[in-house]
């Protein structure tokens, strides 16, 4: 067994789509980043890399590489899933949290779980995604950005 954890932060920006968990969510702003800036999938992918002691997401998908410009983070997560499998591991479970003031995430969480499970070839029952608000506090509460966190258990 191996455990990994990670967090990812992206700021809001105009003229970008809001994509979290591989789901495009209607909102007046999206997240700024080199890829599609899906903070949730980035946190999950990096928690897997951490559990495998393979470094961080930037080591494998640097934001200086034009190949990753605008890339879907579902592709990144699938690639990390291949690394996991190549190292002899599979998902035990994932527990992830999105910290976002608005929009509400509840209508989208089930689809996020489906996307994550499909990308990592695991059961949806192995994937937990939760959301919480900043209650007006900090950069999340001021609607400046999004913070996502993930903990993953890998099993052989």
Instruction: Flag whether 58 is marked binding.
Output: yes
Instruction: Flag whether 9 is marked binding.
Output: yes
Place of tokens 């909102």: 27
Instruction: Flag whether 56 is marked binding.
Output: yes
Instruction: Flag whether 30 is marked binding.
Output: no
Instruction: Flag whether 10 is marked binding.
Output: yes
Instruction: Flag whether 15 is marked binding.
Output: no
Please give the Cα distance from 4 to 44 (Å, whole number). Answer: 9
Instruction: Flag whether 132 is marked binding.
Output: no
End-to-end CA distance of the chain: 7
Instruction: Flag whether 35 is marked binding.
Output: yes
Instruction: Flag whether 34 is marked binding.
Output: yes
Instruction: Flag whether 46 is marked binding.
Output: no
Handedness of CA 88, 90, 92, 96 (dihedral sign): positive
Instruction: Flag whether 92 is marked binding.
Output: no
Instruction: Flag whether 61 is marked binding.
Output: yes
Q: What are the angstrom distances between the C-alpha of 9 and each of 18, 88, 93, 156?
A: 13, 29, 22, 30
Instruction: Flag whether 103 is marked binding.
Output: yes
Instruction: Flag whether 105 is marked binding.
Output: yes
Instruction: Flag whether 36 is marked binding.
Output: no
Instruction: Flag whether 112 is marked binding.
Output: no
Instruction: Flag whether 57 is marked binding.
Output: yes
Pairing of strands 127-132, 90-99: parallel
Binding residues: 8-10, 34-35, 42, 56-58, 61-65, 100-106, 139, 142
Binding residues for a divalent metal cation: 8, 10, 42
């Amino acid at each position: 067994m191996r455990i990994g954890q990670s967090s990812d932060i992206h700021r809001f920006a105009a003229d970008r789509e809001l994509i979290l968990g591989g789901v495009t969510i209607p909102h007046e702003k999206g997240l700024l980043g080199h890829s599609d800036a899906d903070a949730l999938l980035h946190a999950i992918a990096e928690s897997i890399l951490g559990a495998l002691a393979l470094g961080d997401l930037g080591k494998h998908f640097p934001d200086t590489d034009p190949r990753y410009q605008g890339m879907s983070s579902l592709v990144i997560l699938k690639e990390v899933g291949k690394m996991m499998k190549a190292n002899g591991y599979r998902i035990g479970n994932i527990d992830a949290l999105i910290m976002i003031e608005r929009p509400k995430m509840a209508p989208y969480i089930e689809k996020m779980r489906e996307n994550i499970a499909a990308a990592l070839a695991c059961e949806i029952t192995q994937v937990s995604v939760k959301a919480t608000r900043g209650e007006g506090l900090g950069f999340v509460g001021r609607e400046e950005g999004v913070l996502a966190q993930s903990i993953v258990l890998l099993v052989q």
